[in-house]
Structure 1
């Protein structure tokens, strides 16, 4: 159950590599993922793959009043980039924060092809940004997903 919270009218866009994050920022990013993936979606745990700490991984997020409202991460997979861990706090949804993060993430990919694993029901949402299904669906943590790819413009 979420309680109504006042939101700052202008969330601030932040970005950093893991080594540059403060302990409070790491906690805020992880806390949001747990709230969204574990509590809301009842995943046994958000997949822990160690990629958050890779030197080339970039974390992007919006915060207001010290609270992380939405986050993504951008991975460098060599010839491609990958966007993932897209999460928005329940009380911050409907403000376009995730869309702005996706656009920023795409811009940070330097014209490389981008992949992502989308929750199946969000496939049309990702299509807005030029992503297209790139293979058969699969189930991750009990949730249907589809692989998607965005070619350079």
Structure 2
């Protein structure tokens, strides 16, 4: 099995405008790449570069997964994301292992990447995102 680098840690927040200055102060990094991901009902911004950066996610509509997460659990760690070379192959591998997938096929994510999520029931209680860079 090939090692997969941690791409980012997703943190759910109610408001990017309120949370970004706090995380900029904590990390010493300026937020970058702020964008709305309409298909997921979120606005995101990243802090840091390379492996282990942070992604702040704020809901843009009440029916988004992040809005439901915040209503149930409040702000905090939302997911871990790992960079993979072939997202379709990874999904097939996880499916063959009997893991529960949230996404049966890759979908568009932030910064033009392809992403898919694995259900926390299959990953020790941690929502896991897989990301294929430049997937389009």
When the two structures are superposed, what TM-score results if normalisation uses the length of structure 1? 0.27
Query: Larger RCO: Structure 1 or Structure 2 (Cα < 8 Å, ≥ 6 residues apart)?
Result: 2
When the two structures are superposed, what TM-score results if normalisation uses the length of structure 2? 0.29
